[in-house]
Amino acid sequence: MTIAMRKLSLALGFLAIVAGPASAQQAGDFPTRPMRIITGYLPGGVSDTIARTMALQLGEQMGQRIIIDGRPGAGGTLAMEISANATPDGYTLFMGQPVITISPNFKRKPSFDPLKAFAPLSVIGLGATMMMSNPSIPANSVKELIAYGKTQPPGKLLFGHSGQGSTNHLAGELFSVMSGVKLTAVAYKGAAANILATIQGEVQLSFLPVLAALPQIKIGKLKALGVTGAKRAKAAPHVPTIAETLPGFEVPVWYGLVAPAATPRPVVEKLNLEIKKALETKSVIERLANQGIEVEYTTVAEFDKLIKDDAVRWAKLVKDAGIVLE
């Protein structure tokens, strides 16, 4: 072996030694400093509560503090963009929801491709959304609401939602198309603001997470009309699905953690396993159940498929229903 070849061999050997521990450190020693979970809605809502529940448990498991970084506005797209542009090192996660799969259908598309911007970690759970009304509306069911709505001038009935392209926005738009009752959408920055607006009569209708609305329903400040899922919500089994009146109506809601797309695979896999461990914890299961969330762990590959399938579903629904998302 020539001197030059010997030097090259030694150099490559040194690089291999250096690279080995570095790769191991990416996963093995991660995390070595505090992390953050970015959310797109105001404190106190379902999304925020899920993020805080996971942050507390994951932080305890991994020995690092996890901060909740709330960036409400634009139906979660603001938080999504900030998350997509974060350093892809595993220290910034995004509390993902269907805004990732719905936003590609906006007329004013995001400056990035949401379907390529994230590395899926795991679904956390599935939730339910409920259609409700101010008590002054003379309807106690979806069927009665449709009949009443058709007596009103088109667009007179207002419905509140959590931002352009959110699942509760799409639920209202889909209801409007399928029922033939023209509704006008009004955006708020979260469930709490939406509930207050409906109680005060700023809007007559709203689509809200089941658990967020139940306390107001129980004291008569809101009326429950129907849930948007394919089946009745466990937290409110007495409330029928909207599909029982409008067959085919379904707006599913999922919650999951994602990281910026270029996050190292070993870190992604480690976070997936930590999430799995957290979702098997009794206190986490109970706290999420109290928010109307059914725990649903997935592998990275399963979550990736869910996102892709959901995107196809929403694209077809928006096109077929003629829904325009500004």
Residue 244 has pLDDT above 50, yes or no: yes
12 has pLDDT over 50: no
Q: Name the most confidently modeled range: 47-51, 86-90, 246-250.
A: 86-90
Residue 15 lies in a domain: no
Residue 240 has pLDDT above 60, yes or no: yes
Please check whether residue 273 lies inside any domain of the structure. Answer: yes
Distance CA(39)–CA(44), nearest Å, equals 12
- Same domain, yes or no: 303 and 154: no
Instruction: Report pLDDT for 26.
Output: 56
Residue 72 burial by CB count (10 A; 0-12/13-18/19+): exposed, middle or buried? buried
Q: What is the pLDDT of residues 261-316, one digit of tens each?
A: 999 999 999 999 999 999 999 999 999 987 788 899 999 999 999 999 999 988 98
Distances (CA, A) of 93 to 37, 155, 222, 257, 278: 5, 39, 35, 6, 16
Q: Which of 244, 268, 287 is the last residue of a domain?
A: 244
* Domain shared by 118 and 134, yes or no: no
Q: HEC states along 111-169?
A: CCCCCCCEEEEEEEEEECEEEEECCCCCCCCHHHHHHHHCCCCCCCEEEEECCCCCHHH
Q: Convert the pLDDT of each residue in 101-125 to its tens digit.
A: 998 988 777 888 999 999 999 999 9
Q: What is the pLDDT of residues 185-204, one digit of tens each?
A: 998 877 888 999 999 999 99
Which two structure tokens, joined as six digits, stand for 74?
Answer: 């634009």
CATH number for the domain that contains residue 114: 3.40.190.150
Domain that holds residue 159: 129-244
Residue 14 pLDDT greater than 60, yes or no: no
pLDDT value of residue 3 = 46
With residue 258 as reference, give the H or E element that holds it.
Answer: strand 253-260
- Give yes or no: residues 169 and 118 share one domain: no
**141 and 116 within one domain:** no
Q: How far apart are CA 203 and CA 278, in angstroms?
A: 39
Average pLDDT over residues 8-37: 60
Could you give the count of Cα atoms lying within 13 Å of 3 in the half-sphere of its Cβ? 0
Residue 309 in any domain: the answer is yes
Quick one: 105 and 133 in the same domain? no
- 202 and 111, same structural domain? no
Token pair of 118 as six digits: 């994230």
pLDDT in tens, 149-176: 999 999 999 999 987 778 888 899 889 9
Is the pLDDT assigned to residue 18 strictly greater than 60? no
Domain match, 291 and 220 both = no
Measure the CA–CA gap between 181 and 225, rounded to whole angstroms.
15
Q: Which two tokens stand for residue 181?
A: 């009752």
* Two tokens, residue 157: 């009935």
Query: Where a domain ends, among 203, 222, 244?
Result: 244
115 and 262 part of one domain? yes
Rounded distance between C-alpha atoms, residue 235 and residue 253, angstroms: 15
Q: Is residue 201 in some structural domain? A: yes
Predicted local distance difference test score (pLDDT) of residue 60? 97
What is the strand order of the sheet 157-161 is part of? 183-187, 157-161, 205-209, 129-133, 223-227
The mean per-residue pLDDT over the stretch 124-129 comes to 90
Q: What's the structural domain count of the chain?
A: 2
| Same structural domain, 217 and 202 | yes
Q: Cis bond leading into 153, ω under 30°?
A: no
pLDDT at 292: 80
pLDDT at 5 over 70: no
- Classify strands 294-295 and 118-127 as parallel, antiparallel or unpaired: antiparallel
Residue-level pLDDT at 310: 93
pLDDT of 73-82, one tens digit each? 777 888 999 9
Residue ending a domain, among 212, 244, 276, is 244
User: What would the mean pLDDT of 47-62 be, rounded to a whole number?
Assistant: 95
pLDDT above 90 covers a percentage of the chain that reads 62
Cβ burial, residue 310 (10 Å; 0-12/13-18/19+): middle
